[in-house]
Amino acid sequence: MNNEGQKKIAPSSAALAYLGDAVWEVLVRRMLVEKGVSRPSEEALAYVTAPAQSAAAERILEHLTEEESDVFRRARNNVHANVPRHATPAEYRRATGLEAVFGYLDWAGMEERKTELFRLALGDAE
């Protein structure tokens, strides 16, 4: 991705949320497959919608580091023109913040932290 010795340029909040959307989806899919869920694509909807991600964000907010909180805040505060019908604007903003945090953790190669926050985000759902 970059030449050796060059510093990675930090992606924008929108780019981190874009990456984080995929990261979150993979984490959910892996968890469902590991649990032996017979219809994982249907059950994944309980975790990947904006309202579900918003609730997950609420569960991890107090556990975020200062840097992770900054990533969350910047992404949450971005302008969101296309809010899905099944979510409120506030839910969609929090979901975007959650995705950005997971995108940031993936970008930074922080696998253990990503796993830790994912487990906290699921709460009793796992």
| Catalytic residue chosen out of the listed positions 21, 70, 106, 124 | 21
If you ran DSSP here, which 8-state letter would residue 12 be given?
P
Scanning the structure block, which residue is given the tokens 């910047």? 74
Phi and psi at residue 117, in whole multiples of 5°? -70, -35
Scanning the structure block, which residue is given the tokens 């994912």? 118
End-to-end CA distance of the chain: 34
Compute the half-sphere exposure of residue 56: CA atoms within 13 Å on the CB side of its CA: 28
Among this protein's residues, is 21 annotated catalytic? yes
Residues acting as catalytic residues: 21
